[in-house]
């Protein structure tokens, strides 16, 4: 059940990115990234509905959950973009 929800969310995100991929970074710059904020709703039948996608999501750590998730998400974003271009030889995740 949970796996189905995750797959539905991934599918929706993929389709939204596909729909605007020509508008995202048309200059094909290296070392850049965007953080997008997706809001979903799950109804009684476990159907996933996209409410909105934000190009400038709020990064306010207003709850304990967000205090845990946001720093990790930002760290992962940096690892996937910036750290690939500026490799730290002392870092264990460089490969």
Q: What SS3 state is found at 72?
A: helix
How far apart (Å, rounded) are the C-alpha atoms in residues 89 and 20?
36
The domain locations on the chain are: 1-57, 59-95
70-90 tens-digit pLDDT: 999 999 888 887 777 777 777
Is residue 59 within 8 A of residue 79, CB to CB? The reply is no
pTM: 0.73
9-37 tens-digit pLDDT: 999 999 999 999 888 888 888 767 788 99
């Amino acid at each position: 059940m949970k796996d189905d929800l995750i797959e539905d969310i991934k599918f929706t995100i993929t389709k939204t990115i596909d729909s605007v991929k020509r508008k995202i970074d048309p200059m094909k710059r290296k070392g850049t990234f965007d953080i997008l904020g997706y809001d979903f709703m799950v109804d009684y039948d476990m159907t996933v509905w996209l409410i909105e996608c934000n190009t400038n999501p709020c990064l306010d750590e207003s709850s304990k959950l967000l205090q845990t998730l946001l720093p990790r998400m930002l760290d992962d974003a940096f690892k996937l973009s910036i750290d690939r271009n500026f490799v730290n030889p002392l870092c264990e995740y460089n490969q």
